[in-house]
Amino acid sequence: MTAVDNGSSVSAHQDWTPDQTLPPEFFNNPGDDVHGWDNEVRSHCPVHKINHPPGAEAYVVADYETALNAFGDPRLSKQLSAAPDWFQEQLKDASPILVHHMLNADPPDHTRLRKLVSKAFTARRMEMMRPKIQRITDDLIDRFPQSGELDLMTFAFDLPMNVISEFLAIPPDDRGQVKHDVVLLSNAPYPDDERNRMLKSASDKVEEYLVGLLADRRKNLGDDLASVLIRAADEDDVYSEAELISNLVLLIIAGHKTTAHLIGNGMSSLLAHPDQFELLKNDPSLVESAVEEFLRFESPVFRGTLRISTEDMELAGVKIPKQSFVHVLLGAANHDPAVFENPGELDITRQANRHLSFGHGPHFCAGAPLSRVEGSIAFPTLLRRLQGLRLAVDPAELEWAFDNSTSRGLRSLPIRYDALLPRE
């Protein structure tokens, strides 16, 4: 096991002052030392002010205990109506299709919408899909050259998109455009009119496509997840068409981007730690604990989704005014030494791994069962089929991409291997 940080270093940024306001770049351009920043915030003051969205009253939460408290605090709302008017207008203008999904709702609306989505993403249903996910995984690997070098992030994005598209019965010819538009929509609105026009265009195209998809599916319901959602919505008769479409987009995002970064972040971590690589390669039964450790070690979602204070309040002794944005730093909580022994070490045998990468409580990620199954198939399949697998660059040369959303992943993951072995 190789140490990256020990959860206690505060030497990475010598100009740190506890009362400074963190800049927007803390989220969208922090450089490679994100764990250094996280450790410093946690060490100095686990709840800290940040200028994000720029000009708004906003705070980050960097320690595990306060993160858990924030997830369960009823004063922190996910209802879009709790946000300042300017933010509501910005989101509605840039991504109108996403206004009605369950991540922008509190109970009882969240409970109602979660019931709809939970019927599609059950752990049992995901396990039943293992053979199909294995086939999709091997089909993609079969397209690799027999040896040489490639960017594994292409596979990392293609696998979950192909899986969710097949489960929704999206025709192969349509998947490229849907993927492009949904990836755009997974980003937060920008204080940039041109960028927001791009988001609005993507939102309109996805909505038009899904309206047509649902209309076609209603004529001929099948076993796909879109049909499952339609049946559930029609049976309960408490969902609008806008809610159905918005939550369908959320399922595509939840079943795509997070898993892509799980695969990319996890594989880069594994390749940078040869002892852990050999351990998993020689004992694939460790894959479940390995996936949980990959989720903790380099969290594919590094901060939680929208939370707004509904009243003047305190968190960990820090006063937070009403209508403030509160960002829970999942990656920082996952490296809290008060909870995780040697948090800077990758240990794929780590037990009782209570990471927060999928959130916690009522808003626990609906796509978690699918993401875990895909990871548990992708990692051992890649390790088995790519003989002599290794990084094509020094780990320090890998570039992390922050796109103003909640995710954190690699721009590219160059690998080399000596031979492509046949599928089992």
* 356 closest CA partner among 66, 79, 160, 7: 66
Q: What is the pLDDT of residue 403?
A: 60
For residue 12, report the phi and psi dihedrals to the nearest 5 degrees.
-70, -30
Kindly tell me the sign of the dihedral angle through the C-alpha atoms of 66, 24, 37, 254: positive
State residue 21's pLDDT score.
85
| Mean confidence (pLDDT) of the chain | 86
The rounded radius of gyration (Å) of the Cα atoms in the chain is 21
Whether 6 has a pLDDT exceeding 60, the answer reads no
Q: Which residue has the higher pLDDT, 102 or 160?
A: 160
Average pLDDT of 389-401? 92
**What's residue 10's pLDDT?**
33
209 pLDDT higher than 70: yes
pLDDT-derived band of residue 2, with 50, 70 and 90 as boundaries?
Answer: very low
What would the two tokens of residue 176 be?
């490229």
**3-state per-residue secondary structure call for the chain:** CCECCCCCCCCCCCCCCCCCCECCHHHHCCCCCHHHHHHHHHHHCCEEEECCCCCCCEEEECCHHHHHHHHHCCCEECCHHHCCHHHHHHHHHHCHHHCCCHHHCCCCHHHHHHHHHHCCCCHHHHHHCHHHHHHHHHHHHHCCCCCEEEEHHHHHHHHHHHHHHHHCCCCHHHHHHHHHHHHHHCCCCCCCHHHHHHHHHHHHHHHHHHHHHHHHHHHCCCCCHHHHHHHHHHHHCCCCHHHHHHHHHHHHHHCCHHHHHHHHHHHHHHHCCHHHHHHHHHCHHHHHHHHHHHHHHCCCECCCCCCEECCCEEECCEEECCCCEEEECHHHHCCCCCCCCCCCECCCCCCCCCCCCCCCHHHCCCCHHHHHHHHHHHHHHHHHHEECCEECCCHHHCCEECCCCCECEECCCEEEECEECCCC
Q: How confident is the model at residue 189 (pLDDT cuts 50, 70, 90)?
A: low
Give the residue with greater pLDDT, 195 vs 278: 278
- 304 vs 95, more confident: 304
How confident is the model at residue 11, as a pLDDT?
Answer: 35
pLDDT in the model for residue 294: 98
Asked which of 172-176, 240-244, 251-255, 324-328 is least confident by mean pLDDT, the reply is: 251-255
| pLDDT, greater one: 269 or 256 | 269
Of the given ranges (180-189, 315-324, 357-366, 411-420), which has the lowest mean pLDDT?
180-189
Q: What is the mean pLDDT of residues 8-24?
A: 57
C-alpha 258, offset from chain centre = 3
What is the pLDDT, as a whole number, of residue 13? 46
pLDDT band for position 183 (50/70/90)?
A: confident
Q: Which of 31-40, 83-92, 234-243, 414-423 has the lowest mean pLDDT?
A: 31-40
Q: Is the pLDDT of residue 1 over 70?
A: no
Which pLDDT does position 9 carry in this prediction? Answer: 33
Q: What is the pLDDT of residues 50-102, one digit of tens each?
A: 988 888 899 999 999 999 999 999 999 998 889 999 888 887 777 777 777 88
Q: In terms of Cα–Cα distance, which of 223, 213, 359, 234 is closest to 295?
A: 359
| β-bridge mates for residue 326, sequence order | 59
Predicted pLDDT of residue 27: 75
Report the distance separating Cα 65 and Cα 73, nearest Å: 12
Judged by average pLDDT, the poorest of 157-166, 191-200, 205-214 is: 191-200
| pLDDT, position 32 | 61
Q: What is the pLDDT of residue 191?
A: 58
Cα 407 to Cα 28, 36, 122, 305, 351, distances in angstroms:
10, 18, 23, 10, 25
Q: Categorize the per-residue pLDDT at 120 as very low, low, confident or very high, splitting at 50, 70 and 90.
A: confident
Q: How confident is the model at residue 94, as a pLDDT?
A: 72
pLDDT at 309 over 50: yes
Q: What is the mean pLDDT of residues 102-117?
A: 83
Please tell me the pTM assigned to this model.
0.90
Structural domains in the chain? 78-302+362-420 (1.10.630.10)
